Structure 1
């Protein structure tokens, strides 16, 4: 009998990737909440989301075998509540918060590897003089205690930068802080952390290292493991991601040091029977490693890369740990020795989407270029700022996943894909802005 897997906000692109895992025929997938309620939603009512999802589970006539998610906020925080209500084993809400609440996570990381953690300073953006609460020298980053995809993250070079960013944070932070606080206030949290709820931000020293990477792993019966390392390459603005590359080109000894730190830190978080990814920086000049952040989920961005290289999406790991099965993830069974995800971005300001590639055009591109998958995030008529969950410096409107035999081949395929994917934008007029 097939296992019934409920996936929060299951979209068509990722649903197709479930077919790449080795036990695909053993599972039946059900979307828990429609994607429009989660993916780039204008707002999130946490009580409504939990109630709607719970009703859907209660009305299901079969057995609920697992509830999983590959999205970030708000789904990761919802999982413990939904699983408990469905009678399923789950990691605790507190263990999720130890990963996702940026101040709490930094405090735990500092207990384990203080030399790898930048200085931080929490502040209330609604205070009369929030800059005076920050005990850091310029430049530094500011970001909400909880958001995702670098939303409302700003590099602050001087007081003018801070004063320009603060009104935007005040205007938009409620989209995340209100649903976050609904669950945060129900968790058992240390007093010093409880005082820093989702309406707060974190200022953080800038990590100057050049090489960023992500380790994908999982915790099974209390024991963390790592099964892949992916490089994250940034644009020249050093804020927006350009592409991901798998497997990492970092020296093996550097990767091993990161793995050892990961195992130590993840044990301290208390996360259990759950996948995770953890991000690091490496400075090749000094050899220094810095820990950036922890996410208690697989990265949906990496799923096609693992499929292209290893022969199965790492969704396989997500499902198995949720079902209480020790993962035995494949190695090197894919069609290509390496793969990349290219983020297609617009830097020229907000705009209306006037044209996106037709299905026949994407099919023609994939017929000409082997090992290519495309995800288009926008549709004609969209306004970029109202649709995409992009960082503070660009608008990401499509992704291209590419497998190849060399980095030169990957970049060549990438260029040809861009030539064959016609997007058209109309800049906003002054009146529209």
Structure 2
């Protein structure tokens, strides 16, 4: 019998990825809400989004076998509510919030893996005495701040001085309502401890600065068993916080990856997260041989889909779909055509600018043809402001992504340079 899988925010790119998965000949994929509603905007009316999704599902004449998604907030937090109503498999809302509510998440980490958890405290950015209270929590410059419900790297700042903190709080006060109001709606639906309920959606985190070589462990939990299945390196541009590329497989020592996987199993088991995919971001400080945990994400990383397909032979969308249908994920290992793969981010480091020229579709195709198997996605349109791009970090704008594979890392980087020579973006009204 045909299985009907509803994918929240399904776009053309992921529709093509889903068609290439294993065991989906009997699966029909249906979009639920549009990408414009849940990922191509920074305005989220969650009650209205839930109602529209429920109206679509209620009107569907057939079985609803799975409701899944691959997008961060608000999709990740909407899925437990939808899945509970329609009886499909997903992690519970409370276990998901133990990962996504950054203060709750840190509290849980401090309980079970304190040696891998940095110092932290929550603060109200609208409190004029917030900086002194952060100091009372034994956090000194430098430290990092971010919303308790961060999305990507949005509204994350390194704080080296009181002036940096003033700048960050000005930005947070102006923009955090776009996150806090919809997140508060979700929090109201959950059974929260009093200590967590007091830390509302507009609160932020101050955390000890941690560093080293950054990576992400991808994993899932199936009927209580925590299964890590891959480690992806996160390589930053020199001297800045913005990501340059994601690299798979990781180049970290195997012993370090094994330790991260063991920490992952211990933490996710303690949280009680089940029947869903996740990933955990880590740092390895190789000087002190210290592993730090950065954060937990309650979804697979979209950026890593093509990397797994190139190297292992199947996108890890396989995890999302199999778990949604109650099946043990059928991931492959090293069955792909490449030894190594990456997603590169073409970035510009402006405060803002107007996009005056973008490559045409034909130019993108020519650029991709420089290296077999390359795919390019451009995120900007002519005459738009860079500040209109959603989900950007505080220091740069990603205007395009390039996915490609190779047999070794040096060849991969050389290939990227050949592709980029064919891409021509231009900007005007630049704010440095």
TM range (shorter): over 0.9
Aligned length: 429
Equivalent residue runs for 1:56-71 within 5 Å: 56-71=56-71
Q: In the alignment, is residue 196 of structure 1 matched against residue 214 of structure 2?
A: no
Q: Which residue of 2 aligns with 1:338?
A: 340
Residues 98 and 105, structure 2, Cα contact 8 Å, conserved in 1 = yes
Residues 378 and 388, structure 1, Cα contact 8 Å, conserved in 2 = no
2:163 to 160, 169, 180: 160
Q: In the alignment, is residue 74 of structure 1 matched against residue 77 of structure 2?
A: no
Q: Which residue of 1 aligns with 2:175?
A: 172
Q: Which residue of 1 aligns with 2:115?
A: 115
After superposition, what is the alpha-carbon deviation per residue over 1:261-294, rounded to whole angstroms, capped at 9, x for unaligned? 0000001111110000011110112211011110
CA distance in 2, matches of 1:288, 1:37: 41
How far does residue 105 in structure 1 lie from its aligned partner after superposition? 0.4
Q: Which residue of 2 aligns with 1:388?
A: 390
Q: Where does the alignment leave 5 or more consecutive residues of structure 1 unmatched?
A: none
Residues 388 and 396, structure 1, Cα contact 8 Å, conserved in 2 = no
How far does residue 246 in structure 1 lie from its aligned partner after superposition? 0.1
After superposition, what is the alpha-carbon deviation per residue over 1:46-94, rounded to whole angstroms, capped at 9, x for unaligned? 1101111111111111211111111000011100111122222332110
Residues 88 and 324, structure 2, Cα contact 8 Å, conserved in 1 = no
Q: In the alignment, is residue 356 of structure 1 matched against residue 358 of structure 2?
A: yes
Equivalent residue runs for 1:168-317 within 5 Å: 168-208=171-211, 210-317=212-319
Q: Which residue of 1 aligns with 2:3?
A: 3
3-state SS in 2 of match to 1:417: helix
TM-score, normalised via structure 2 length: 0.97
Q: Which residue of 2 aligns with 1:34?
A: 34
Over aligned residue pairs, what C-alpha RMSD do you find? 1.3
CA distance in 2, matches of 1:160, 1:366: 44
How far does residue 349 in structure 1 lie from its aligned partner after superposition? 2.9
Residues 157 and 394, structure 2, Cα contact 8 Å, conserved in 1 = yes
How far does residue 320 in structure 1 lie from its aligned partner after superposition? 0.5
CA distance in 1, matches of 2:169, 2:358: 34
Q: Which residue of 2 aligns with 1:138?
A: 141
Answer with 358-367 or 1-10: which moved more.
Answer: 358-367
CA distance in 2, matches of 1:347, 1:201: 25
Answer with 71-80 or 9-18: which moved more.
Answer: 9-18
Answer with 258-267 or 78-87: which moved more.
Answer: 78-87
Residues 42 and 390, structure 2, Cα contact 8 Å, conserved in 1 = no
3-state SS in 2 of match to 1:155: strand
TM-score, normalised via structure 1 length: 0.97
CA distance in 1, matches of 2:78, 2:102: 18
Q: Which residue of 2 aligns with 1:88?
A: 88
Residues 341 and 399, structure 1, Cα contact 8 Å, conserved in 2 = yes
Q: In the alignment, is residue 128 of structure 1 matched against residue 131 of structure 2?
A: no
Q: In the alignment, is residue 22 of structure 1 matched against residue 22 of structure 2?
A: yes
CA distance in 1, matches of 2:431, 2:177: 28
